[in-house]
Each structure stands twice: as structure tokens, then as C-alpha cells.
Structure 1
Amino acid sequence: MASSPQLVTTEESSFAEEFRLFWPDGTMRWLCRRGRVLSDKHDRPVILSGVLLDITDRKEAEEERAGLLAAEKEARGQAEEALAQAEEARADADARRHRLAQLESVTEAGLAHLSLYELLAELLERVQAVLAVDVVVVSLLDASGPLVVRAAVGIDGLAAGVSEGGDQQLARQLGTRVEPVLIEDVDGPDCPIPYLRGQGLRSLVVVPLVVEGHMTGALQVATRRSRRFSRSDVRLLQLVADRMALAIDRVQTFEREHSIAEQLQRSLLPDGLPDLHEADLAGVYRPGAAATVGGDWYDVILLPDGQVALVMGDVVGSGVRAASTMGQLRAACRILIGQGHQPAEIVRSLNRFAIVLGEGEMATFAYLVLDPSSGRGQLVIAGHLPPLVRQADGACGYLNAEASLPLGVRANARYHEHAVELGPGSTVLLYTDGLIERRDSSLDDGFDRLSEAMAAAPSDPSEGCDFVLRSLLGDDEPGDDVALLALRRSDAAPGPFTLRLPAEPTALSRLRRALRNWLGQTGANEEETSDLTLATSEAAANAAEHAYGPIDAHYQVSATVAEGVVEIVVRDFGRWRPPRGANRGRGLLLMKALANVTIHRTNDGTEVRLGRRLANPRHPTQEKTRV
């Protein structure tokens, strides 16, 4: 308050004062008194004038305004605090989103189809960028136990496969712990990784890679400058390691299962294809991208009469069940063929067998029996795609066959034989649907693509199959299994004859048939053909009987014609045993009566040469070539 009126009169010329006053009824009022002191010429106060005002309304208004201002200030403070909290929350959310983006960049879905080597290379570069470190190393547990370096970035001279005891020390220090290990001085005595010392590194963090509670490896990140890794850094590194461990385990599991599946699949395919003089063969199997066995298979079986059976099948579905069905069908097919049944009857019997295997077991099947010397044969189709034939001039066309049901659909399904004739130099290709079927195109488009690829493919069956696969599938693994089987008939001109046969009596009929066909092409008459075939058969029988013991072995027969003289060579690769029993050795006398005979024995085997001049050779100027 202002001073009292007494003081005002003595010290000031005017005064103002606000004060509260309580009435007898207890109410309070705000009053204001204002006045002025008038003085005479001697500055002595002579008059006091003033006014007394009731300012209660003004004071209440001021108090209300002050309250409003305080409330506004408090509200503004609360708003600013809320805004700061929102900014902090937004920053935290941005940090979480950034961290999530970093994690996703390390192990995004696009890495799922990489090999282990490619995955590690990609992961390490991403970890290096995300964590802003200089060196990243990944060690994985080897099958024998120790940790082995599998990949590294940012460091020279550290090759994959390093173990040298250092990682064993690291494995012992980590033990079963799942917490990261921080090392402030890599060159210090506390660093359990000797191969990182002397590399100019300072700070190091080692994080175990853990899958389902078991350590599978270790992630090591290091910097060349001293760096104190924050809790956020270590937490992010742990999350990265967890993601990496799962990604690596997934790829390792996929590669392991894929390898097992492929080995199982290939074990159900023929180890090799037979050697035919009148034709060349090639078979290719490529597994699908999924790590599971499939039901595609092919087979080639030589018949006693010299014909060859080409088999192509595709069991519906995939996995162990499909592979098991495929194996049983393949075995049953070989048994039925060995019993000498006709092609249609073989397929009908195989269909009944598929019915017996159980409900839902279904397979498409193609069976082609062909005489390589004449090119004539019989084709039976059971719901399979038609074989493709490329003529010697490159023209391509599909073999016509009556539509029929796949194996295992109906017990009384009918299957018919269709005549086939393959000209000299022509190729027939059997294949499964994985080669031409695509989700984004029709089956007709697939047929057209295959026909165009086959027309441009090399004539050699093996090279042709590879060309067709590259043209239709590229270098990527197909989505479904793919099997191809190609047979190309030899050209009409009688080139050099060569045939590699097992040392067993059953192979002689095949030899006689092939040699007769070749001799006929040289212009040999019936007598010359009969004599040379008999002499060669006798020499081959001697090689099978005397050159080897009771083991699997082979011998080779080759023949050429030059200046009208046929020369046939029968060569084995064993040591001849003495004749067993009496009345032996007549075979040599027979051979000498039919042809000019020379025999040459070495430590590497025996070579029997049979020669004879033809009366009317068809190609008297052919140069002599030995294969």
C-alpha cells in the first residue's frame, strides 16, 4: 500500500492507496483513495483534497484475468511439454523404424534363394554398412566341432576356412553364453581371436549366433578407431546376429536337404546309358528349385533282339512318396520288359501295378521301342507329352499318339501301339512337363518354344539336351523337375564302327545285330557279312571267357573299311587264362577259316584283328579310321 496520509502531507504532493475493508456483515470490499496536498508559498500544506472509490469490481476482474493468464501459462507449459514428449516419441518411433529397416535390410526376403557363400557375402556387406564398422567376420561351427571363418569383409589376408586354433579359443570363451563379448583392445591379451591381432583394429564386439538355444557360430565386428559401443549398438548387433543366425541356418538346411534330395533322385536314375553303334544317347535330369525329391525319371533298356527301349515317366506330386512310387514303377517296368512282353501289354501291366500301389498314385508315361539299325519302332503313351522328332534336315515335329489316361487312373484303361520310323540322322526327344509348362503361357506356346529350340540345337544328343535346357530354362533352377532323353540315329554313310560291350554272353546278340547292319552299309554281300559276323562273335566270346575272371568287365569292338578291305578289331583289357577242359581252341581255327587273323597280346590286354577284302565294296575310297 501507499504511505499514510500523514506522511503524504509531509513528504509528497499527492497520494493513492488501495486497501481492503470488511463490512460488519463480513463482506469484503476493495477501496481506493486518492488525494493531493496543496501548499502555500512557503511550501507548507494547507489543503488536503481527495476521493474514495469502491474498486471491488475492478479487482475481481483483475484477479479473474490473472487466473486466466496463469491457466493459459500452465496450459501453454503443458502443451509445450506434450509437444516435446510427442517429438521424443516421434524420434523414438523413427529410430525404431530405422532400426527395423536396418534389420530388414540385413535379412530381407530377397536373400532367401542365395547360396550360403552368396548369402554371407551379402550379409556382411550390409552389416558393415548398417553398424558403420570397418571389419565384419562370420565364423560357423564346422561338422567336426571348431569354429571356422566362412566370410570376412574389410580385412586383407583373411581367407575362408581359417581356424588355426584361434576360433577354438573363441568357442571355449563363448561357451554356451548368448550375450555379446566387448573387447576394447584387439591387440591386448584379452582378445580370444589371434588372427585379428596386428590388423590395426581397436574395438571389437563378438556376438554368438544362436539357433534354438544352440550356438552355431559367431559374428565379429571391429573398428580401427577406438569406439565405445552403446547399449543401443549392442542391442542392434544382437538383433542382427539373431536374424543372421536364422537366415544362415535356413540356407544351410535348404542346401543340405536339396543335396540329399538330388542324390536320392539321381540314385533312382540310370548310372549310365548303353553304348549303341547305330545311335547316340543322352539323358539329363535337373531337379526343381524346391529341396525335395520329385517323380521324374527316364531309363534305357537294351532288348535281346538288339532293339532299345526308351522310357520316360513323371509321377504326379513330389517328395518321398512320389520318389518311392517312381522307384517302384521303374523296377516294375524293367521286370516287365525283361519278360519280353509287347509294348502295349507292358504299359497295361504297369497301369494295373500303379492301381495296386494305392489310391492317388498316378503317373504319365511314354514307352518307345526302337530298332536303331532300321529306325522302326513302336510308341505307347499313357497321358504323357508327345515325343519330339527332329529330322536330319532340322525339321521338327511331334509324334502322333492316341490320347490315353495316365497310369493309375483306371484299371481297364486302354493303351495302343503307334508305329514310328526314325530316319538316318534324326533325333527323338522324350521329356517331362517341367521343361515346357509355364504359369504365364499356354501349353501350345511351350510346344512351340521346344520345337524352335530343338531345331537350332546341335546334332549331338548331349549337346542338344544342354542347348534345349538353356534355351527354355536359362541358368536358373526350374520350378519343377525336368528330365530329357534323346536318341539320334547314325547317318546313312558307314562311318567307323565302335562298340563297347560287357564281358557276358548276352551281349553277343547285340554285337551280331549291330555289326551285320554296319557291314550291309559297306557293301558286303550276305556271305561276307555272315563270315565276318561269325568270326567277330567267336573272338568276342573268347574275350569274355578267357580275359577276365568273375568280375564286371568290358571289351571293345571296332571296325573300318578302306580300299575295299574290312578290318575288325576285338580288344580286351585283361589277362588271358589257360583254356579249361578238353577240345578247346577250335574258335581260332574257325576265325582263320573265315578271315585273316592276327593276335597281339600285351600286359594291357589282347587284340584280335580280322581282315577281309570285299568283292563289291560300296565305298572303296573311304579312309581308314580307328576309334
Structure 2
Amino acid sequence: MPRSVDSGGHAESRLRRIEAVTDSALAHLDLEQLLPELLKRVRELLDADTATVLLLDSGGEHLVAAAASGIEEEVRQGVRIPIGEGFAGHIAASRKPLVIQQVDPTTVVNPLLWEKGIRSLAGVPLLAGGEMLGVLHVGTLDSTPFTEDDVEVLQVAGDRLALATRTGLTRGERAAASALQRTLLPALLPAIPGLQLSARYAPGEASGVSGDWYDVFTLPSGWLCVAVGDVVGRGLAAATVMSRVRTATRSYALDSDSPTEVLTRLDRHMRHFEPQTMVTMAYAMWEPSLSRIHLSLAGHLAPVLARPGERAELIEVPVDPPIGIGTAPVQRRSVTVGIPQGATVLFYTDGLVERRDRSLDDGLALLCETVATGPTEPLCSRVMSRLVGTSPTDDDIAVLAMRRQEAEELREISFELDAIPEVLADVRATLRRWLPSAGATPEEAGDMLVVVGEACSNVIEHAYGPLGGTLSLRLEAREGEVLATVGDTGHWRSPRGTHRGKGTELMHQLSDDLRFEHGPGGTLVHIRKNVTGGDPA
């Protein structure tokens, strides 16, 4: 269609042109389908040779080619235009349409346009609700200028595109944030002998996923680390920062022996690499015996502690500034809290207790009334029911309940692991936590660490071929003794080397009874050790 029209048909032609780019059928297309369809229609309406959509990047400093027709290499080559520079950059900066008839390095930043032979360009800003989203421009290989009518039609297309883009980006961002959140929250909480764990996560209905998270992980030393936090902000940006905070926390935990050191290093990391970010966080380290936790708060609400026979209460701990605040390091503080058997600790984010129609103090009081000792799964359900109920929430919520199990629950535990060298650290950590509760003294526990560790190492080295297999471990506490059974389902290979067998000798020396049971279904190693630390408690 030619860009000029006779005066008699001007109004009718203009109406048809606008209707063509506002067709209701376009409303059913997603953004990936809408962009090429709109560009195709715009090219036909304006008799243009090229049409391009450039969208503002996340940093807000550049336009990036998102879709093109007639000059597809703009997208393939990842064209980026600085805001304020060249033709498209000037439109984005001024937020006004622009028409030029001189396309060369003095007017256009993108060399593809003049190399293509473009002689005339018309462009309009993509604005939605006052927000700058990008630029739509068309070009021709002849020098016929674009008219005011052409620019008006182009702006109609731009407005339609801007609304669809904002909707599509918002929908896509929410989906991406939700997917990221799901991958980072533990799909399965770790099995920690001596602890029962349950958790809940609920996104805010008004704003969708943001930056709340919880994490539980063990260290090679046998310590157990817990992190519950909230990145200030919404959507994909907050979820992305949350993922980096979670990774950094785990990394610093490997080389730190106190919660204050972890938070101090994390704070330094965030102030340098994420200077516009603020994070609140509760970070705790459980001792291998699980009898005490070391807790530090960075602008976060205190966990609730419920001891057997006592009313639940907030743990008294000083609250230091959030992560990422200020420019100077903070002298962070921590407390050490005894956790008797049967006690429950509940960590949470502020979305659980903050409501527009309820003060924070009332929310915390209700939480303390709700938390009690007992199985953690019903506890989480009860907490969410009483504090959330059927009311919509503005903020997302993370809840993590941890209960130190009673002695009777720990008399016998069993689990299965992959028969690979990396699991030996997990086995040692489990033994360090379980043996004291089974009545073993530090010396007796040390002997069992050696004997069980040697048995597990033998399974990994001798029981399976290259395809590997599984290792089973059962621990049982009796009055005055502990029993361990290490099993496999493989067929043992002969020891390699001329000086083997020292490990079995040592196992006999450090245990009170050691038996090997070989069968067609695999091998069981039965280990018994007398303990003098008293009855399991």
C-alpha cells in the first residue's frame, strides 16, 4: 500500500489502517507471536522495507533488538543501542516520535541500517503507563518521507505493542521467578538423625513470588546450618538476588565456624556486588550433638522456641542491621541457645505475622500461642491455618520447623546412600550427631567413627564395579551398647595391593564385636561397641 492517499479517501483509509493494527484477534496472541505479526502488518500498511522492535534491557541503559522483519540480522547479532545515542536512542530518551531521511553514521548508531541501504526511518517510543519499554521503527530503501499519518499509525501499533509487551514481560517474569524459586527451595529437606524437619512456602497473592527462602544444609564437620531470609523487592529481580545470596551463604559456611562470620562475609559480598540490595536473614548453626544452636539475626524476626512443658516464646537475640545496609562493616552478634530433646524451633519470614489489620506484636503473640512441641508437619499446618487462614496475603511466606527428637525416637535409625566417596562425610556427620545421644563418650564415639567409616569405605571400594550401587547403614542404641550394620548388595572384589587388610585389623581392635555376613544378596558388617556414657538420652 502506498504511503500517500487522496484527500477524499483520507479518513476512511486512515480508519482501515488503524483497525489493521488493533485487530481484536491479536489479543489472543502471546508476545512471541504478537511481535512478528504486528511487524508484518506495519510493514504492509506503511509500505516499509524493514520494521524493528528494540526493548529496554534490565539495566535501563540500552535498547536491545527483540524482533525484526526485513532486517532479521539485528536480532541475530544482538544489536544494542545506548539510550540517548543515534536514532532509536534519541527516541527512547525524548519519548517522542522521530522521522529522518539521512541514514548514516552521523544519525544512526547501528551500521546494519545504512549497510542495508535504508534511506528513510520513522520511529515511535513504546510507552505503557508512563513506563519506557522500548522503540518501534520502520525503514524504507527509497527516500520518500514518512507522513504524519504514517507516524500516527505507527504510534497506534507502538501503543498496542507496548501494552502487550508489558503484559507479556510481567507474565514471563512471574513464571521465571516462580520456576527459579521452586528450583532453589529444597525439594526435599535433608534427613538429619535426631531432628524432624518440615517447611512451608506460599507466594503472596498480590505480588507473586519475591525473595523469601529457607535452606538447611550440613557441613563436613557435622554442624548443621539453617538460613531463612527475605530479599527486599518483588518478582524475578528479587528471586535472582535470592539465588545468589543462598549460594554465597553456603560458600561462606564451608569456611566459617560462627554465624556472625558468615553474615559478616555475606554482608561484605552484597555491599560490593549488589549495592542496591537489602536482605534480612536469620542464620543458625546447630552443634553436631544438636543440643545447642548458635544464632545471629540480620534485621530479621527472632525464631520461636517451644520447650517441652513450657509456653513457646521468641528467642532473645540482638537484631543487627540487615545485609547490604550502609558502607561500613557491622559488628555482628550471636547467642547460644540450649535445645533440649523434644524442643521445637520455628523460623519464618515476616509475611507470616505482618497484616494490614493486625499489628506486628499481635501477630507474634498469636504465633507464640500456636507453636508447641510435637511433630513438625502438623505444626506447620496449624501455624499456616491460624496465621494465614483464608485471607489473601500481600507478601510471600516461608516457614521452617525443626524439632529435636526424643531419645526413644532415636534408638534405631537407618538410611541408604549412594556408594561413592563423597558420602563418607555425611556418614561421619550422622555418627557425630547420633552417638552422644546413644550414650557414647567422646572416646567411644571416636572409635565408632573409625570402625563404621572403614566399613563404609570398604563397600565403596570393593562391593561394586564402575556402575556403582548403594550403601545402607542402620544404627541401634541399647542399654550399655550401640550396634551398627553396614550393608551392600554387590559382590566384593579381591583387595588390590600387597599390604591390604590393616583396616579390618583396626576395626577388630576398636569394636567389641565385629562380624561379616556374606550372602548372594550382598554383605552385612555387624559392629557392636560397649558405651559407658549412660543410657541413651
Q: What TM-score does the superposition give when structure 2 sets the normalisation length?
A: 0.61
Greater relative contact order, per chain length (Cα 8 Å cut-off, separation 6+): 2
Distance 1:352 1:526 in 2: 38
SS at match of 2:319: coil
Partner of 1:618: 535
User: Residue 578 and residue 288 in structure 1: after superposition, are their counterparts in 2 closer, same or farther (change >3 A)?
Assistant: farther
User: Residue 421 and residue 600 in structure 1: after superposition, are their counterparts in 2 closer, same or farther (change >3 A)?
Assistant: same
* Contact 2:288 2:432 survives alignment (8 Å): no
Instruction: Indicate whether 1:313 and 2:229 are aligned.
Output: yes
Shift of 1:504: 4.5
Partner of 1:161: none
Instruction: Indicate whether 1:572 and 2:488 are aligned.
Output: yes
Instruction: Indicate whether 1:437 and 2:359 are aligned.
Output: no
Q: Which moved more, 1:460-469 or 1:319-328?
A: 460-469
Give the percent of matched residue pairs that are identical in Structure 1 and Structure 2: 37
* Contact 2:220 2:429 survives alignment (8 Å): no
Query: Which residue of 308, 315, 318 corresponds with 1:392?
Result: 308
Instruction: Indicate whether 1:380 and 2:314 are aligned.
Output: no
User: Residue 559 and residue 471 in structure 1: after superposition, are their counterparts in 2 closer, same or farther (change >3 A)?
Assistant: same
Shift of 1:524: 5.0
SS at match of 2:517: strand
Instruction: Indicate whether 1:361 and 2:277 are aligned.
Output: yes
User: Residue 420 and residue 618 in structure 1: after superposition, are their counterparts in 2 closer, same or farther (change >3 A)?
Assistant: closer
Distance 2:391 2:463 in 1: 48
SS at match of 2:316: coil
Distance 2:504 2:234 in 1: 57
* Contact 2:440 2:532 survives alignment (8 Å): yes
* Contact 1:307 1:369 survives alignment (8 Å): yes
Which residue identity lines up with residue 440 of structure 1 in the other structure? Answer: D
Shift of 1:551: 7.3
Partner of 1:461: 376
Query: Which residue of 389, 414, 418 corresponds with 2:335?
Result: 418
Q: What TM-score does the superposition give when structure 1 sets the normalisation length?
A: 0.53
Which residue identity lines up with residue 491 of structure 1 in the other structure? Answer: E
Larger radius of gyration: 1
Query: Which residue of 463, 472, 487 corresponds with 2:387?
Result: 472
Partner of 2:195: 279
Query: Which residue of 182, 186, 193 corresponds with 1:270?
Result: 186
Distance 2:237 2:443 in 1: 56
Q: Alignment RMSD, CA only?
A: 3.6
Q: 1:157-198: per-residue Cα shift (whole Å, max 9, x none)?
A: xxxxxxxxxxxxxxxxxxxxxxxxxxxxxxxxxxxxxxxxxx
* Contact 2:214 2:400 survives alignment (8 Å): yes
Distance 1:471 1:330 in 2: 29
Distance 1:255 1:415 in 2: 40
* Contact 1:362 1:409 survives alignment (8 Å): yes
Distance 2:467 2:189 in 1: 20
User: Residue 461 and residue 553 in structure 1: after superposition, are their counterparts in 2 closer, same or farther (change >3 A)?
Assistant: farther
Unaligned runs of 5+ in 2: 1-27, 30-166
* Contact 2:249 2:262 survives alignment (8 Å): yes
Instruction: Indicate whether 1:488 and 2:406 are aligned.
Output: no
User: Residue 412 and residue 501 in structure 1: after superposition, are their counterparts in 2 closer, same or farther (change >3 A)?
Assistant: same
Distance 1:375 1:404 in 2: 25
Shift of 1:384: 0.5
Shift of 1:517: 5.5
Which residue identity lines up with residue 360 of structure 1 in the other structure? Answer: Q
Which residue identity lines up with residue 569 of structure 1 in the other structure? Answer: T
Which residue identity lines up with residue 374 of structure 2 in the other structure? Answer: S
User: Residue 352 and residue 562 in structure 1: after superposition, are their counterparts in 2 closer, same or farther (change >3 A)?
Assistant: closer
SS at match of 1:289: coil
Distance 1:312 1:481 in 2: 13
Distance 1:292 1:517 in 2: 39
* Contact 2:201 2:399 survives alignment (8 Å): yes
* Contact 2:229 2:282 survives alignment (8 Å): yes
Shift of 1:258: 5.7
* Contact 2:231 2:238 survives alignment (8 Å): yes
Shift of 1:430: 1.0
Query: Which residue of 598, 602, 612 corresponds with 2:516?
Result: 598
SS at match of 2:503: helix
Shift of 1:417: 1.8
SS at match of 1:296: strand
Q: 1:74-115: per-residue Cα shift (whole Å, max 9, x none)?
A: xxxxxxxxxxxxxxxxxxxxxxxxxxxxxxxxxxxxxxxxxx
* Contact 2:471 2:486 survives alignment (8 Å): yes
Query: How does 1:140-539 map onto structure 2 within 5 Å?
Result: 260-290=176-206, 292-410=208-326, 411-455=328-372, 459-474=374-389, 478-493=393-408, 495-501=411-417, 503-505=419-421, 507-512=423-428, 514-515=430-431, 518-523=434-439, 529-539=445-455
* Contact 2:215 2:228 survives alignment (8 Å): yes
Distance 1:283 1:581 in 2: 49
Distance 1:438 1:521 in 2: 42
Distance 1:546 1:360 in 2: 54
Q: 1:414-444: per-residue Cα shift (whole Å, max 9, x none)?
A: 3112222211111111111111110011000
User: Residue 563 and residue 314 in structure 1: after superposition, are their counterparts in 2 closer, same or farther (change >3 A)?
Assistant: closer
Which residue identity lines up with residue 295 of structure 1 in the other structure? Answer: G
Q: 1:365-399: per-residue Cα shift (whole Å, max 9, x none)?
A: 11101115142231111000101111122521111
Q: 1:498-519: per-residue Cα shift (whole Å, max 9, x none)?
A: 3555544454455345435544
* Contact 1:258 1:290 survives alignment (8 Å): no
* Contact 2:289 2:436 survives alignment (8 Å): no
Query: How does 1:50-129 map onto structure 2 within 5 Å?
Result: none
